[in-house]
Copies of this chain bind each other. A is one copy, B any other.
């Protein structure tokens, strides 16, 4: 391994460690917003982390990141189960770069262990985001079964399509820097599939609307969780260059500036709306919304663009939150739909507006055109169309597969939902 490649691997490992923190931090976010008696939320996120490691290493890493079959899905048998299995040929499987990190493709020299570790942390936190709608309503065993399908198919498909250099969406030009669509958008689509099945079962039980879970702040946990998530986002975005170059350092700037700008605009507009001192809840959600919005284009834009995007993210969250709170057939107190789904997709589309080639090029996307706001013209419009196509393909597919998965689990387990009132008692 050259010294440059060793730097890249070290960067990805450090980033991976930070992203690893995020899954269980989503559990802490849940008790921060809903109260510490939601201990099931904590068990759920630990389960997600372990399930991700086990089933991604079993085959899910291959279905996402092995050379694809017709651009649709990674070859599940490419690398054997458990990342090389018992092979003692450590200098075969483990030597040098993973195929897509070799000179033919991304040319960063990232090894299988480093790349797996980084991406499994991504997959895991994505399901943690999906899981905030599970609350105490879905049986733990149902969610565990769901997680198996999720890590082998549902998470893998968008990754194989967009982050795998042989994927069909990548081939037609869809770009998504650190996961506005692959992570946040797709998490929303998967969540919609889950709440739809939950609502079908609740209706069958005779409920007129879905029991709403109320916010009940636990200030210490809420603060700690946003600190850990923000820390994780350092790795999430900056590590997504998969190389320790100047652009990786610029991504630190765009990520942190978007977060702070979104915080300020969220508190400002919230104050305009309520004329009251802002609460910790909106502080936290503001920061998260800024981080979400910048994610898909953190490597493509200038620091000042990141500030603008952050300032927009604040009121966007407040509007989306208001809109989604109208629906009573599901409950989403932690904000999967107004936050992650809306913010992720919005940020993705902003690629066609804010991208500047020098940044994007250094971030590994040299073919991305300048955005509309930077003289991109027709190629930028075309990029917008391509991204929209990506959104449609991913959201429809993930939503449909998520719902079908829940529906099938429903058949197997005779219901995916718990007796919610009883669950509340036992926590």
Contact = CB atoms under 8 A, between A and B. Distances in A.
B21 A231 contact: yes
A226 to B, nearest CB: 7
B50 A305 contact: no
A83 interface: yes
Nearest to A39: B219
Interface residues of A, number: 99
Contacts of A120: 256
Nearest to A12: B249
A47 interface: yes
Contacts of A303: 57, 82-85
B14 A358 contact: no
Interface in A351-366: 356-359, 362
A163 interface: no
Nearest to A266: B50
| Copies of this polypeptide in the complex | 3
B82 A113 contact: no
A259 interface: yes
A140 to B, nearest CB: 6
A46 interface: yes
Contacts of A81: 304
Interface string A276-293: 011110011001000000
Decide if the interface of chain A is mainly helix, strand, loop or mixed.
helix
Contact of A10 (B7, B47, B140, B246): B7
A359 B302 contact: no
A424 to B, nearest CB: 15
A287 B21 CA distance: 15
Interface in A206-264: 217-224, 226-227, 231, 234, 244, 246-247, 249-250, 252-253, 256-257, 259-261, 263-264
A42 B90 contact: no
B13 A249 contact: yes
12 contacts: A13-B252, A25-B227, A39-B280, A46-B226, A47-B263, A49-B260, A53-B260, A82-B257, A83-B303, A86-B356, A88-B302, A88-B356
Interface of A: 1, 3-4, 6-7, 9-11, 13-14, 17-18, 20-21, 24-25, 27-28, 31, 36, 39, 42-43, 45-47, 49-54, 57, 81-91, 94-95, 111, 113-114, 116-117, 120, 140, 217-224, 226-227, 231, 234, 244, 246-247, 249-250, 252-253, 256-257, 259-261, 263-264, 267, 277-280, 283-284, 287, 302-305, 307, 356-359, 362, 370, 374
